[in-house]
């Protein structure tokens, strides 16, 4: 299959490597022609250090390369996905399968990434989502990984499953696009808070408490937004939350760790040195919760730390002293 990948960051590059290894003809696009030329010449991507770019992957700065593609994969940061999709819209043929590998919620509109693609491509293309616990550093090195391909069209989800799956990259299908995408976005917010817990040296008990109650928040948000609670217990939910909250590869956890240790938010974001998706998602999740009238004390607390200069220690104390309630009184 002819596949065009919009987005040459670590994740887009890792997926390009995966797809090329599956026997597909892959072109990797970057918005910077100079970067494209350097990657084509050196077969290296600074965003994915130590992993050579296979010779069979073409690298380009020309978005028109998508005109012959049967599948286009979008792996840009959430903050620029709309811009990337607008560029792609002039070149993607009607009927081409469009796959979002980007996790986030658009600031201002509250739209999920698949909705942005559908809108930008004028609903001319079937859209699917690829999500789950999948660090680029490990996928690019062919380490065992499991993900979810989600689409409202079962046939499209199964096509994505077939295209991406191999002996070390297992893909399950799911029709709950809303739940899969919300899990992918909210877990980044949760991971920042988990990093704060570690940065404050609160211990394993506190971390287990935090992650479990954060999962409860995610479940009720998914249901209120039209998704399914069961998705939250799968790879897109619990699986992705575990890896993002606990892994040293996680940029979101790293940012929270620095903040918990006393770094100002702006300094922590700079020190991470790459896009911290949870920072942007925190504002979108807050807006969504207010619109849906659902209480999310943990996610709201992470927003307070990131945007309102809330003291991390006092924030944790406030969460610990909330009113008593039943564990499974999910809406509270």
pLDDT for 332? 46
pTM: 0.95
DSSP state of 227: -
CA-to-CA dists, residue 47 to 12, 85, 143, 318, angstroms: 10, 22, 18, 38
Number of structural domains (the chain) is 2
Mean pLDDT, the chain, whole residue set: 96
Residue 248: CA atoms inside 13 Å, Cβ hemisphere, count? 0
- Indicate whether 141 and 210 sit together in one domain: no
Range of the domain at 162: 2-175
- Bridging pattern class, strands 145-150 and 127-131: antiparallel
pLDDT for 331? 53
220 in Cβ contact with 183 (< 8 Å):
no
Question: What stretches of 4-146 show up as alpha helix (H) in DSSP?
Answer: 10-21, 33-42, 81-89, 113-120, 136-139
- Indicate whether 162 and 288 sit together in one domain: no
Do the domain assignments include residue 25? Answer: yes
- Indicate whether 310 and 189 sit together in one domain: yes
- Indicate whether 291 and 188 sit together in one domain: yes
Instruction: Please identify, among 108, 143, 175, the residue that sits at the C-terminal boundary of a domain.
Output: 175
CATH label of the domain that carries residue 24: 3.40.50.720
Give phi and psi for 319, each to the nearest 5: -65, -40
Catalytic residues: 187
Angle, vertex CA 93, rays to CA 26 and CA 87, nearest 5: 75
**94-149: pLDDT as tens digits:** 999 999 999 999 999 999 999 999 999 998 999 999 999 999 999 999 999 999 99
pLDDT for 327? 87
**Is 325's pLDDT higher than 90?**
no
**179-211: pLDDT as tens digits:** 999 999 999 999 999 999 999 999 999 999 999
Instruction: Please identify, among 159, 175, 191, the residue that sits at the C-terminal boundary of a domain.
Output: 175
Instruction: Please identify, among 152, 175, 198, the residue that sits at the C-terminal boundary of a domain.
Output: 175
**Is 41's pLDDT higher than 60?**
yes
CATH label of the domain that carries residue 294: 1.10.1040.10
- Indicate whether 27 and 164 sit together in one domain: yes
Do the domain assignments include residue 330? Answer: no
Give phi and psi for 170, each to the nearest 5: -90, 135
């Amino acid at each position: 299959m002819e596949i065009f990948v919009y987005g040459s960051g670590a994740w887009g590059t890792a997926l390009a490597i995966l797809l090329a290894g599956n026997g597909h003809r892959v072109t990797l696009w970057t918005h910077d022609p100079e970067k494209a030329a350097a990657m084509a010449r050196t077969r290296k991507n600074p965003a994915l250090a130590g992993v050579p770019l296979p010779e069979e992957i073409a690298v380009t700065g020309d978005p028109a390369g998508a005109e012959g593609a049967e599948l286009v994969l979008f792996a840009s940061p959430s903050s620029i996905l709309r811009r990337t999709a607008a560029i792609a819209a002039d070149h993607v043929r009607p009927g081409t399968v469009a796959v979002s590998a980007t996790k986030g919620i658009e600031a201002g509109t509250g739209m999920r990434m698949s909705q942005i693609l559908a809108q930008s491509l004028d609903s001319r293309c079937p859209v699917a989502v690829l999500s789950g616990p999948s660090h680029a550093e490990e996928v690019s090195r062919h380490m065992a990984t499991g993900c979810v391909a989600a689409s409202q069209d079962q046939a499209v989800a199964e096509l994505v499953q077939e295209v991406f799956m191999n002996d070390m990259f297992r893909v399950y299908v799911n029709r709950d696009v809303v739940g899969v995408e919300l899990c992918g976005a909210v877990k980044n917010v949760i991971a920042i808070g988990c990093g704060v817990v570690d940065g404050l040296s609160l211990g394993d008990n506190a971390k287990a408490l935090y992650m479990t109650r954060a999962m409860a928040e995610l479940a009720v948000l998914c249901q209120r937004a039209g998704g399914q609670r069961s998705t939250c217990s799968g790879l897109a939910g619990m699986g992705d939350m575990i890896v993002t909250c606990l892994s040293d590869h996680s940029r979101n956890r790293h940012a929270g760790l620095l903040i918990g240790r006393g770094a100002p938010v702006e300094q922590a974001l700079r020190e991470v040195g790459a896009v911290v998706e949870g920072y942007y998602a925190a504002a979108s999740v807050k807006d969504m919760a207010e619109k849906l009238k659902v209480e999310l004390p943990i996610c709201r607390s992470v927003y307070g730390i990131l945007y309102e200069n809330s003291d991390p220690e006092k924030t944790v104390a406030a969460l610990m002293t909330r009113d008593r309630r039943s564990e499974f009184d999910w809406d509270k």
